[in-house]
Structure 1
Amino acid sequence: MSDKIIPIIMAGGKGTRLWPLSRATAPKQFLELLGGKTLFQRTLERVSDNTLYEAPIILTNAEFRFLVAEQARLIDRTLAKILLEPVARNTAPALAVAALVVAREHGENAIMQVLASDHEITANETYFDCVAKAKQAAKAGRLVTFGITPTEPATGYGYIETGDALGGGAFAVQRFIEKPNLEKAEGLLAAGGYLWNSGMFMLPVGPFLQELRRLAPEVLDAASRSVETAKHDLDFERLDPEAFAKAPDISIDYAIFERTPIAAVVPSPIEWSDLGSWDSVWKLGARDEQGNVSEGRTTLLDTRNSLVLSKEIHVAVQGLSDVAVIASEDAIYVGRMEDSQNVGKLVKYLASMEKTAPLTESHRTSYRPWGGYTSVLNGDRFQVKRLFVTPGKRLSLQKHHHRSEHWIVVRGTAEVTIGERTIPLRENESVYIPQGEVHRLANPGKILLELIEVQTGSYLGEDDIIRIEDEFGRQ
């Protein structure tokens, strides 16, 4: 059996606390916030040392499965497995599934490290020293959590009180404390011996499954049945929906860590953030002489201690301090930095109204396993999109009942199937797809294929599609 750690990366969350960039279908782990890579990609890079780690197992949902695979491909990272949760059931059922899969493929003596895909961590010598200490404690049979050394009286995190030293840099867990108010947080910081609960774990598979059997048998039973009857779909493993849905909706903290006598914590003085609000992004960014963090198409004048991000439109900010200005393709957020923890309240308000609810769900640009599309213009009985198709990929063989389509190639070479014919299309060439005609688009080239698509018809919804043949397993 390998002595390497098996990374378990949780990548299924749908948070919208970084709206308007994060949406239900584009959560923060898949966004490029600061720098050229997403949080998910940077998490993959932290477990890329193949002398320390096996290839990672990813836990996500069906909606994000191709996004996970594509972002791993872009940075040339091999994934051991992508497990698809059919419904959200919190961290206890998810980690029970992961432990069962690891036990099946690596044995119960294996050790797995659980990582969130949406945290920002500086993976330096200090970080890997903490990983080594956690691994040692896990090999001794402890269920280990990483406790972040507090730098301020934060109210957005739970806390862990450390108990007796266990040797090797680990401590017994005395107790877990819910997210405190400011007064209580200040008291914990002043008292010492308290750490932030990071949500990262190092778990020996055998003892973890034992504690699940003892403390959360319903969780383990549902997880076991969902794994036993899982279906393989391309590179994905779909957990059985009926079995997994019967698992209690409970976190690993409540189900196991707050009740087990074998919990341990490794104090971790690392640079860490769960990036749960815009002020946390500002704190991590590279600030200029006025304390501003800016990226993209921005101009700042007489502005201080602010965060300004824009990738599409040019944003100019003048004479303001301590604000967050975030521009996406279709919405702009402006708020005081001190209020950025409450963006979730704004998102709920937007979601409650028919006109603004779509702004909380998806961006104008949507990603598909073959590439994606950007909505350019919508009108009565027509809409214009920019399609982009990855080299070597093709869309499903399909037809539409209510619309016709015009395709114009602006970059690359297309291979277009219409009925029984297959024709090549080069830059500046176009083709017409009649309503009801069976058709397919493919990119046989080595560069990204870009087209302008004009749709006309009585109904232009995305659900007007009949897939006849699809290599991605979609209906």
Structure 2
Amino acid sequence: MSAADPIVPVILSGGSGTRLWPMSRPELPKQLLALTAAETMLQLTAQRTVAGEQFAAPIVVANARHADVVETQLAEVGASAQALILEPAGRNTAPAIALAAIAAGAGAAPLLVMPSDHVILDVAAFHAAIARALPLVRDGWLVTFGIAPDAPETGYGYIKVGAELAEGVHRVDRFVEKPPREAAEAMLASGDHAWNGGIFLFRADKYLAALQSFAPTMLAAVEAAMTRAVRDAARIWPDAEAFAASPADSIDYAVMEKAERVAVVPVSMGWSDLGSWDALHAISDCDAAGNACRGDVVAIETTNCMVRADTGKRIALVGVEDLIVVASGDDILILPRGRSQDVKKIIEAMKG
């Protein structure tokens, strides 16, 4: 692989984004919404790796029901996918990335795997981290990007950063599951752990070889699904029956925790996975009273609230504090700040 080989961005856009209900719904999940800027999360992700000398056009893996809106949103920011892989069903990240690796040619092309719904405020720092990782990637290493932690978060997995392999690149000592509070505090204090941000860089062939070693049933199912795929211009529909035979597993479990040559690049780049309304409040511009409001909102004697109103909706608040209030469609969400992870309880209750 030559130094000039462009990196192929792989944008994973299959998530349902239920934690940001009621704005995020299966028909229009959070990656397809404009939550932090005028652009949608998908558009912001595509703009981090503009096609040119360093990056090829992206491969996007998405839910089949979102094909039109994905293509439209990419076109709106001057991007287009070299392949739009439309999953017949969600099988988690490991099979989705395998689909992209095969679509990229299954060779030595480096793949930059990015979720479509993350925030990265310092793109220059992200690009610098990619540059530090590339020499090891060319040599066959599987690289993940470790987010510099600033709090003892219990909702993220962690990576123990091991010996330095090259400047700014370290061996992964171990992956740590989402920890209890005491363990998270200890890892933060130790200074040798990073959050697992779910962003990866590796050669397509090396990833597929790792699947062959550690998840051969998954690889066989994905290969069969791509062999029988229906193609129309950039769109690729993997065969549904073959893909359904794949185990559902994350890349962390299927590959990264088992492979030998796994490295981490610690980086501070203003990252958030935007996994809750509280996370959105934390990165939002707030007024002098600590309120983050968007839409037609009237807030009187109100402090530290997160308020969102769809077009055509008005929300008025008087004398309250530390609330999350969201009006979207026919639904209204109200809950205390700090409890936005409990949206999943609402989703489950509505199913019942």
Whether these two folds match at TM > 0.5 is yes
2:85 aligned with 1:86: no
Give the AA of the match of 1:254.
Y
- Supply the distance in 2 between the matched residues of 1:49 and 1:26 (Cα, whole angstroms): 26
After TM superposition, give the deviation of residue 238 of structure 1 in Å: 0.5
- Supply the distance in 2 between the matched residues of 1:45 and 1:302 (Cα, whole angstroms): 39
Match of residue 301 from structure 2: 302
Match of residue 361 from structure 1: none
Match of residue 232 from structure 1: 231
After TM superposition, give the deviation of residue 34 of structure 1 in Å: 2.9
2:327 aligned with 1:327: yes
- Deviations along 1:72-130, one digit per CA (max 9) or x if unpaired, are 122221211101111111111111121112125xxx12101000001111143222111
Match of residue 273 from structure 2: 274
Match of residue 65 from structure 2: 63
Match of residue 292 from structure 1: 291
Match of residue 4 from structure 1: 6
Give the AA of the match of 2:204.
V
- Supply the distance in 2 between the matched residues of 1:206 and 1:16 (Cα, whole angstroms): 33
Does the CA contact (< 8 Å) of 1:41 and 1:72 recur in 2? yes
User: Secondary structure at the residue paired with 1:103?
Assistant: coil
User: Secondary structure at the residue paired with 1:17?
Assistant: helix
The count of residues paired between Structure 1 and Structure 2 equals 349
More strand as a share of residues: 1
Give the AA of the match of 2:103.
V
Match of residue 127 from structure 1: 126
- Supply the distance in 2 between the matched residues of 1:295 and 1:31 (Cα, whole angstroms): 13
Q: TM-score, normalised by structure 1?
A: 0.72
Does the CA contact (< 8 Å) of 2:17 and 2:31 recur in 1? no
Does the CA contact (< 8 Å) of 1:34 and 1:295 recur in 2? no
Match of residue 202 from structure 1: 201
Does the CA contact (< 8 Å) of 2:292 and 2:305 recur in 1? yes
Match of residue 19 from structure 2: 17
2:203 aligned with 1:187: no
Give the AA of the match of 1:118.
D
- Supply the distance in 1 between the matched residues of 2:132 and 2:316 (Cα, whole angstroms): 48
After TM superposition, give the deviation of residue 235 of structure 1 in Å: 3.6
After TM superposition, give the deviation of residue 229 of structure 1 in Å: 1.1
Match of residue 219 from structure 1: 218
- Supply the distance in 1 between the matched residues of 2:173 and 2:203 (Cα, whole angstroms): 20
Does the CA contact (< 8 Å) of 1:46 and 1:123 recur in 2? no
Moved over 4 A (4+): none
After TM superposition, the structure 1 = structure 2 runs for residues 257-406 of structure 1, keeping only pairs within 5 Å, are: 257-311=256-310, 312-352=312-352
Does the CA contact (< 8 Å) of 2:48 and 2:123 recur in 1? no
More helix as a share of residues: 2
User: Secondary structure at the residue paired with 1:211?
Assistant: helix
RMSD over aligned Cα atoms: 1.3
- Supply the distance in 2 between the matched residues of 1:86 and 1:286 (Cα, whole angstroms): 38
Q: Greater relative contact order: 1 or 2 (C-alpha under 8 angstroms, separation 6 or more)?
A: 2
Distance 1:317 1:136, change over 3 A: farther
- Supply the distance in 1 between the matched residues of 2:317 and 2:276 (Cα, whole angstroms): 20
Does the CA contact (< 8 Å) of 1:143 and 1:262 recur in 2? yes
Match of residue 111 from structure 2: 112
- Supply the distance in 2 between the matched residues of 1:270 and 1:136 (Cα, whole angstroms): 21
Match of residue 37 from structure 2: 35
Give the AA of the match of 1:218.
T
In structure 2, the gaps of 5 or more residues are none
Give the AA of the match of 1:274.
D
Q: Which moved more, 1:127-136 or 1:261-270?
A: 127-136
After TM superposition, give the deviation of residue 174 of structure 1 in Å: 0.6
Find the structure with the greater CA-based Rg. 1
After TM superposition, give the deviation of residue 169 of structure 1 in Å: 1.3
User: Secondary structure at the residue paired with 2:19?
Assistant: coil
After TM superposition, give the deviation of residue 140 of structure 1 in Å: 2.1
Match of residue 172 from structure 1: 171
In structure 1, the gaps of 5 or more residues are 353-475
Give the AA of the match of 1:5.
I
- Supply the distance in 1 between the matched residues of 2:325 and 2:16 (Cα, whole angstroms): 22
Match of residue 162 from structure 2: 163
Give the AA of the match of 1:197.
N
- Supply the distance in 2 between the matched residues of 1:42 and 1:146 (Cα, whole angstroms): 19
After TM superposition, give the deviation of residue 283 of structure 1 in Å: 0.6
- Supply the distance in 2 between the matched residues of 1:347 and 1:248 (Cα, whole angstroms): 25
- Supply the distance in 2 between the matched residues of 1:306 and 1:136 (Cα, whole angstroms): 46
- Supply the distance in 1 between the matched residues of 2:350 and 2:28 (Cα, whole angstroms): 17
Give the AA of the match of 2:171.
A
User: Secondary structure at the residue paired with 2:338?
Assistant: helix
- Supply the distance in 2 between the matched residues of 1:84 and 1:48 (Cα, whole angstroms): 22
User: Secondary structure at the residue paired with 2:105?
Assistant: helix
- Supply the distance in 1 between the matched residues of 2:256 and 2:48 (Cα, whole angstroms): 25
After TM superposition, give the deviation of residue 234 of structure 1 in Å: 4.8
After TM superposition, the structure 1 = structure 2 runs for residues 408-419 of structure 1, keeping only pairs within 5 Å, are: none
Q: TM-score, normalised by structure 2?
A: 0.96
Percent identity, aligned pairs only, is 39
- Deviations along 1:53-75, one digit per CA (max 9) or x if unpaired, are 10000001211111111111222
Does the CA contact (< 8 Å) of 1:306 and 1:323 recur in 2? yes
- Supply the distance in 2 between the matched residues of 1:334 and 1:38 (Cα, whole angstroms): 24
Match of residue 148 from structure 2: 149
Q: Which moved more, 1:205-214 or 1:157-166?
A: 205-214
